[in-house]
Amino acid sequence: MWVTGLVATVAAMAATTLGAAVARACGVDLVVAAGEEPIPLSGVAVVTGVFSAVGVLLAAALRRWSARPAEQLVRITVALTALSLVPPLLAPADVPTTATLVALHLLAAAVVVPALARSLRGRGVAGCARSTRLAEG
């Protein structure tokens, strides 16, 4: 799961940075408030990496303490992704910037969450107990 999480995090960082670069090339300024500097591409990568790493840690905790870690991860991350859309929607940015930021949040989640959920299928507290019983008996 750790390798999957690392690969998914790097892939999400690359995808969102590329998405932001394409948006910039298409004329989206990525300025959140008037008079401020545009969001740098490196900032997109760093924020994606930090929150993806939080997702990996969440997956690890669920794998350790949940009987159904994949299902719990999906439920929690859907809620967290929805919450992550609130700041871009409330920011005083223009419509193209807001749409781009929302799309980047959804893109990161679309890369990381399925990868982590797949790595957790059949794992968790119940899965470990079942595997232990099979090995013993």
Which stretches of the chain are DSSP H helices? 2-25, 41-65, 69-84, 86-90, 95-120, 125-136
Instruction: Please check whether residue 52 is in contact with residue 102, taking contact to mean a CB–CB distance below 8 angstroms.
Output: no
C-alpha distances in Å from residue 73, one per residue of 28, 51, 57, 62, 68:
33, 14, 11, 7, 9
pLDDT at 43 over 70: yes
Q: Whole-number mean pLDDT of the chain?
A: 91
- Single-letter amino acid, residue 135: A
**Band (35; pLDDT cuts 50, 70, 90):** confident
- Mind listing the pLDDT tens digit for each residue in 52-82? 999 999 999 999 999 999 999 999 999 999 9
| Total domains, the chain | 1
Query: Range of 71's domain?
Result: 2-132
- Mind listing the pLDDT tens digit for each residue in 83-116? 999 999 999 999 999 999 999 999 999 999 999 9
Q: Is residue 137 part of a domain?
A: no
**Band (124; pLDDT cuts 50, 70, 90):** low
Residue 62: which of 109, 13, 119 has the closest Cα? 119
Q: Is residue 98 part of a domain?
A: yes
Q: How many other C-beta atoms lie within 10 A of the C-beta of residue 73?
A: 22
pLDDT at 129 over 70: no
